[in-house]
Amino acid sequence: MPILKIASKRGLYKLVGASLPSWVHSYIASYGMAKGITKTEILKPLLVNWITKQRKDLPDEVLVQEIIERLKSQWKFESLIPGMTLLIFKNNMEKELIKRGIFPDYIKQIVKEIDSWNDVKQNHSVNK
């Protein structure tokens, strides 16, 4: 058991992994130990401030549309793979979005959009 252990308050939080240079990690660890705070307490305010600034220019709805556009481009390539169907693509994409921690309501919106691609053209291609 660490001598200077800092209590964890995980609750409904998610772990976000990030690869950082060793010197950054070392300083954050040293700072936290010296001040008696966790790495989360150091980084969380920085990330929350960053998100607040980003949302002014790129609200969540815009990000969802950008994800949809990237998926359309990806589908154009994957639709050429023998045996690939829009249903398989959609299921794979949905699993990936869940794994990456995308908000469930956004996943539903993205899936609904992909379902509309099938209505546009039955031959598994998306043209826009």
Sequence spans of domains, the chain:
22-57, 60-120
Residue 3 C-alpha from the chain's centroid: 35
Contacts of 14 (CB under 8 A, 6+ apart): 101
pTM check: above 0.85: no
How does pLDDT run across 53-67, given as a tens digit for each residue? 999 999 999 999 999
- Give the gyration radius of the chain's Cα atoms: 21
Distance in angstroms (rounded) separating the CA atoms of residues 43 and 118: 43
How does pLDDT run across 2-38, given as a tens digit for each residue? 555 555 556 677 888 889 999 999 999 999 999 999 9
